[in-house]
Amino acid sequence: MDDDKVFKALADRARRQLLDRLCARNGQTLGQLCEEMGMTRQSVTQHLALLEQANLVSTVRRGREKLHFINPVPLHEVYGRWVRKFEEGRLDLLHDLRTELERKQE
Amino acid sequence: MTDRSASFVYVTYIRTTPEKVFEAITRPELARRYWGHENLAEAWTPGSAWCHVRTDAARTVDLVGEVLESAPPRRLVLSWANESARADPEAYSRVTFDIEPQGETVKLTVTHEELQPGSGMFNGISKGWPLVLSSLKSFLETGRGMEL
């Protein structure tokens, strides 16, 4: 279920762009994030809400401002589940090949 | 004055209890199983020194600092610097662990503040925390951490 939210949140160019912008500069306000996005404040708010539900963005209140931070933790969980698993087979294969070749050299 | 304006906020939701999260951070025999390091302190009480020690044979001390606040199992605040910079007051950043129960899960928020933008510590922790926190989640939910 959490994976679904992460993939859904990432399946949109504007939301990926918001993550890139937070990656470049963490802890921005809604107003800062709206600059150069070429969309209404309301749309940006909606995109940020989806990112927050997927736990890809966390927010902190500082006085009157709400600051947005990129939270890559769920990306690592998705990576562990969906990427690393498929790489392991390939790495095992390379490892076996190396062991085999080194044994022949002895 | 040194620019120490950078901060990060990391959040993970873990199916466990606040007590177990607090123990996983503060008990060396647990931390070594998902962090590749142990966190050692004489006591996890304000004013105590703490250090972050590699679990390899050399037992290298990577980080040092002081316990600034401690309210088990809900909150722990540490100062945090590279061991090599321990004498430089400007090198210390600040890490807060907030541990809140939310239904059947625990929301763990790690706030790392007062970092120098672009510094070695800034780059290191921005790669490190997401890995450590997903490994911690895996450890508490499945009994196995991830290889770091």
Give per-residue pLDDT as tens, A47-69: 999 999 999 999 999 899 999 99
Contact B9 A69 (CB under 8 A): yes
Task: Decide if B7 touches A, using CB distance below 8 A.
Answer: yes
Are A67 and A84 within one domain? Answer: no
The pLDDT score that the predictor gives to residue B100 is 98
Q: Name the residue of chain A whose CA is nearest to B12's CA.
A: A73
Residues A65-101: tens digit of each pLDDT: 999 999 999 998 888 778 777 776 666 777 777 777 7
Question: How many Cβ atoms from other residues are within 10 Å of residue A99's Cβ?
Answer: 10
Question: Does B119 fall in a domain?
Answer: yes
Residues B35-93: tens digit of each pLDDT: 999 999 999 999 999 999 999 999 999 999 999 999 999 999 999 999 999 999 999 99
Does the interface predicted TM-score (ipTM) exceed 0.90?
no
Question: Does B138 fall in a domain?
Answer: yes
Task: Decide if A58 touches B, using CB distance below 8 A.
Answer: yes
Residue-range definition of the domain harbouring residue B90: 6-23+66-142
Contact A75 B8 (CB under 8 A): no
Question: How many Cβ atoms from other residues are within 10 Å of residue A25's Cβ?
Answer: 12
Question: Does B127 fall in a domain?
Answer: yes
What is the rounded distance in angstroms from the CA atom of residue B70 to the CA atom of residue A73?
24
Position B148 confidence tier, pLDDT thresholds 50, 70, 90: confident
The pLDDT score that the predictor gives to residue A89 is 67
| Total number of domains in chain A | 2
Q: Name the residue of chain A whose CA is nearest to B133's CA.
A: A73
Residues of B in Cβ contact (< 8 Å) with A75: 130
The pLDDT score that the predictor gives to residue B125 is 93
What is the rounded distance in angstroms from the CA atom of residue B28 to the CA atom of residue B37?
8
- Shortest alpha-carbon distance between residue A33 and chain B (Å): 17
Tokens of B23: 């123990």
DSSP SS3 for B59:
coil
Mapping DSSP onto H, E and C, the string for chain A reads CHHHHHHHHHCCHHHHHHHHHHHHCCCECHHHHHCCCCCCHHHHHHHHHHHHHCCCEEEEEECCEEEEEECCHHHHHHHHHHHHHHHHHHHHHHHHHHHHHHHHHC
* DSSP E strand stretches across B72-121: 75-82, 93-102, 105-115
Q: Is pLDDT of B23 > 80?
A: yes
Are A55 and A101 within one domain? Answer: no
What secondary structure letter does DSSP report for A28?
Answer: B
Question: Does B15 fall in a domain?
Answer: yes
Are A48 and A80 within one domain? Answer: no
| Total number of domains in chain B | 1
The pLDDT score that the predictor gives to residue B54 is 97
Residue-range definition of the domain harbouring residue A20: 1-71
